Structure 1
Amino acid sequence: MMKSIKRRRIKLGDVYAINLPNGKVAFGRSFKDACIAIYSYIGSSHDDTPQEEDYQFVVGVYDDVLKSGQWPVVDHRPFANEEEAWPPPMCVIDQLSGEYSLYHKGEMRHSSWQECEGLEIAAVWEAYHIVDRIMGNDKWHKNPLS
């Protein structure tokens, strides 16, 4: 018999537990713009949550990943203000023209490669891509500027 997973509403500041293949647990906090910040801290259980707001990376994530219940919400950490709830700027590289843009707070503006250097490439990730990256497999992280 298959266990039913309850779908839920996404709330800014919710902290999700992400079960890893090695038996450990990673955590992610929901941000605006359909993003999740993955904590640097890796815990031993769902109760072993991060004590600091220190993140490995911030990426876009498909809504169904957070709504499915696959990653249970284990905490809620409200943002101090609206500005803090926005993810950092991300880079967009046009595949045809090779031109660079910065994406931040729902807006895109022309940019240079120097401004994009070291930034996350804007993309929306599936759950398994995020788990792979947490586990050290960087095949999904292909920023030619890093």
Structure 2
Amino acid sequence: MANVRGRGKVGDVVMIDLGNESFGYGRVLLEPTMAFYDLRSREMVAAREVVKAPVLFTIWVLNKAIKSEKWEVIGNLPLEDHLKAEPKFFKQDMLSKKFFIYDDVKNIPATREDCIGLERASVWEANHVEDRLRDHFDDVPNKWVESMKLPEA
């Protein structure tokens, strides 16, 4: 597996302490990307079982997140093909209000409609990821997601 600067290895499965005696799970992809699973547990779940769960979201995460005391590497598994592809994110120029899709290393001009279903290009802190997972499992809106939503037409 390829080393990932300062945050483990590609394929590492992490268990994230969400408080209230529950855990969420993520996976290290190509830097700085991580996938997070639609799985919450009260006890540690084996890495092989974690990766069978659906991916909830894929975002950029700060390297230091995996070193958080609340994030523990519980295994390493080769990435499935669908996790090897670089995800696309949307951006919006704050002055011109024009949209772009960030694809690997370039910005591609886009319409608002092209951006529907994409995450906003942003690098997340560990505590914000934890909030997002906790809010998802509690079925409440997440303030970080809400603040970065695609604006209404």
Structure 1: gaps (5+ residues)? 1-7
Q: Which is further off, 101-110 or 131-140?
A: 101-110
Q: Which residue of 2 aligns with 1:13?
A: 11
Query: 2:118 — aligned with what?
Result: 119
Residues 58, 87 of structure 1: 8 Å contact kept: no
Amino acid at match of 2:52: E
2:62 match? 62
1-structure distance, mates of 2:127, 2:83: 27
Normalising by the residue count of structure 2, what TM-score does the alignment of the two structures yield?
0.79
Q: 1:69 to 1:20 in 2, by over 3 A?
A: closer
Deviations along 1:39-70, one digit per CA (max 9) or x if unpaired, are 00112222355251511111110001124554
Return the match for 1:41 from 39, 42, 49.
39
How many Å separate the matches in 1 of 2:38 and 2:45? 16
Please state which structure has a larger fraction of its residues in strand: 2
Does structure 1 residue 24 correspond to structure 2 residue 30?
Answer: no
CA shift at 1:112, angstroms? 1.2
TM-score norm. by structure 1 comes to 0.82
Alpha-carbon distance between aligned partners in 2 of 1:24 and 1:44, rounded to the nearest angstrom: 5
Equivalent residue, structure 2, for 1:3: none
Aligned equivalents of 1:51, 1:29: Cα separation in 2: 8
Contact (CA 8 Å) 1:35, 1:61: kept in 2 or not? yes
Aligned counterpart, 2:144:
140
Q: More helix by proportion, 1 or 2? A: 2
Partner of 1:97: 96
**Number of equivalent positions:** 138
1:80 shift after superposition: 4.1
C-alpha RMSD of matched pairs (Å)? 2.2
Contact 2:120 2:150 in 1 (8 A): no
CA distance in 2, matches of 1:51, 1:32: 16
Say whether the 8 Å CA contact 2:23–2:44 is kept in structure 1.
Answer: yes
In structure 2, give the amino acid aligned to 1:127.
A
